[in-house]
Amino acid sequence: MVELRHLRYFVAVAEERHFGRAARRLEMAQPPLSRQIQGLEAELGFPLFDRSHRKVELTTAGDAFLAHTRRVFEALDTGVTAAKRAAAGKSGRITIAYPSSVAFTALHELFRVFHRRLPDVDVALRELPPQEQIEALKEGRIDVGFIRGPMNDDELSTKKVLSESLVIALPTNHALTAKKRIALEVLAREPFICFPRHRGPGFFDYLMRLCHKAGFSPNILQEAPQLDIVSLVAAGFGVAIVPRSVKYARRPGVVFRPIVGSPKTEVYMAWLPSNGSTVLRSFLEILGEVGI
């Protein structure tokens, strides 16, 4: 059976064209080297060297074998380098999920820095609502989730990465657009548009608590995903409480107004603590450096 050491012996003799010099290069005695080469030739079934001259020469078969053997070592070196990069979290794949509204936040800066630092990492992005992200994290289908809080799940590790103001989305012809800031209590009689609770229970319950503190329960007439909410507001179906970054979607027909008291929403990065991915570890390190 041909072993890697036999190939190293062969390359050394082929390049030195001399058994003595090859033996010194390999830091071994010449007789054992000669026996190893003879054993390799016997295993292959053809001679690799012409020993009839004062100088050792490759046979035609030996010359062809040398070219392929060098490629073996080149491939091995490439493999070792790739494995080292993967072990250091510098190559591989990471799957990241986020809700649609987070796409308009400063998180793009984190992705930009990550790609610049680790261009060999394949980043797969998936748009998922918060609750589906939590399930996907626990099932190992994604590595990282960006979820609007509050976050209360003991199975996941979390880190707050963003805090942004909530605003009121109004149709452009709504009377309240005349106000620079809007108190939540003046919306008590307004029809509301909101996302279904099952898509993000934590954020949904937080919005309901804000309304209850203002003295009313919102009259939710329409439910839709986050970005579709803005389209329904533009169409005149009602008003909505949304993260400030949603306004960067630039939907025509919608006006955004700050809320009195400036309530905020927080975005958390979540991951499964048992996820041993070295790429995930690199992502967490870069997140700490970027400090978004």
Tens digit of each residue's pLDDT (9 = 90 or more) over 147-192: 988 888 889 999 998 899 999 999 999 999 999 999 999 999 999 9
Cα 239 to Cα 230: distance, rounded to the nearest angstrom: 9
Whether 59 and 109 share a structural domain:
no
Whether 132 and 276 share a structural domain:
yes
Give percent above pLDDT 90 in the chain.
40
Whether 33 and 116 share a structural domain:
no
The average pLDDT across 51-75 equals 84
Sign of torsion over alpha carbons 151, 197, 129, 211:
negative
Cα 15 to Cα 57: distance, rounded to the nearest angstrom: 10
Domain carrying residue 103: 92-161+267-290
Whether 169 and 180 share a structural domain:
yes
pLDDT digits 0-9 by tens, 95-109: 999 887 776 676 777
Whether 79 and 12 share a structural domain:
yes
> Does pLDDT of 292 surpass 60?
no
Last residue of a domain, one of 24, 56, 87: 87
pLDDT digits 0-9 by tens, 220-270: 999 988 778 999 999 999 999 999 988 887 789 999 999 999 999 999 999
Mean pLDDT of the chain: 87
> Does pLDDT of 210 surpass 80?
yes
Whether 23 and 139 share a structural domain:
no
CATH code: domain of residue 185: 3.40.190.10
The average pLDDT across 92-96 equals 87
Cα 148 to Cα 266: distance, rounded to the nearest angstrom: 6
CATH code: domain of residue 29: 1.10.10.10
Joined together, the tokens standing for residue 279 give: 């790429």
Counted domains in the chain: 3
Q: How far is CA 102 from the centre of its chain?
A: 15
Q: Coil, strand or helix: which one is 221? A: strand
pLDDT given at position 241: 96
Whether 183 and 231 share a structural domain:
yes
Whether 46 and 21 share a structural domain:
yes
Cα 187 to Cα 242: distance, rounded to the nearest angstrom: 14
Long-range contacts of 205-213, Cβ-Cβ distance < 8 Å, separation of 24 or more: 205/150, 206/149, 206/150, 206/265, 207/166, 207/241, 210/166, 210/184, 210/241, 210/263, 211/184, 211/187, 211/241, 213/184
| pTM exceeding 0.75 | no
Q: Are 150 and 206 in contact (CB under 8 A)?
A: yes
Residue 291 binned pLDDT confidence (cut-offs 50, 70, 90): low
Whether 57 and 33 share a structural domain:
yes
Whether 131 and 14 share a structural domain:
no
Q: Are 234 and 171 in contact (CB under 8 A)?
A: yes
pLDDT digits 0-9 by tens, 117-146: 888 888 888 888 888 999 999 999 999 999
Whether 104 and 141 share a structural domain:
yes
Last residue of a domain, one of 87, 121, 142: 87
